Amino acid sequence: MTVDDYILLSYARRRELENDEHLMDGFITTREGKNGLSTPFEGLTYRKMMSRVSEMLQSYPNYPVHVHRTDAAISMAHQLSDADRVLLRDDPTAYIKQTTIPPVLVIVRDKPAPAARLRAGHDALSDAFGEELYLRVKGLGLIPVIESPISGRWVGIDSIRDDVVVFTDTKAQLHGLWQPRISMPLQERKWMSITVDALLQTEHNLFFLPREWNKRGPWINRDDLTRMLEEFRQAKATAEKEIES
């Protein structure tokens, strides 16, 4: 095996849901030196798509796996860690479970929508309002920077321990979590999440949150953010009661 040998999964996710799942279109390429073979696919679920990659790894067990989501806001390929590659090869069910986002309640136009199963959809989750909100991360050298909800500037990281990220901006120290919660090189991270409660515990009255849910964005004031959180929790409680009954 040489540095030119690898498996590449390149795909785009359809926006529409089918049976509560997003379907994928793309291709899987096996590269051996100067030779490559691409196999296209259409309308696969995340589970079936990753199962095909796992099958490919059975034939090429030591090949690195690169994943490129072509419809992402920041479109760049990343390489699976050795641990994730081995898990996908040897136990695809466990890998798929680990990288599958559970059902979430999404508020659409201030009304509760049915829970939807979003697979490998952190880009989609970033557009939805909830008790945790998403902040953009981009690589800058070896250490990523975070789009601060306090000033809107790209700020550096104070410390990282496990998945917990600490950063400071305008006298406010905030804690967040990497997303997705799987092994990935720091410079390839795209998202981190932070709770609304953490933002409201600061002394600031305006927050920079340029996401799809923030219709008046990119800024939102403390009162509006507090109101949205209260409405979300009320809708969540109502939905949970309906499920229990």
pLDDT, tens digit, for every residue of 88-131?
Answer: 999 999 988 887 755 544 444 444 444 444 334 566 677 788 88
Q: Mean pLDDT, to the nearest integer, of 66-87?
A: 78
Q: Is the pLDDT of residue 44 over 90?
A: yes
pLDDT the model gives residue 223: 93
Q: CB of 180 within 8 A of CB of 122? A: yes
pLDDT the model gives residue 64: 92
Q: Mean pLDDT, to the nearest integer, of 189-212?
A: 88
Tell me the range of 43-52, 101-110, 130-139 where mean pLDDT is highest. Answer: 43-52
pLDDT the model gives residue 166: 82
How many angstroms separate the CA atoms of 51 and 45, rounded?
10
> Could you tell me where the beta strands, DSSP code E, fall in 78-179?
78-79, 107-108, 111-112, 132-140, 143-147, 154-155, 159-161, 164-169, 172-179
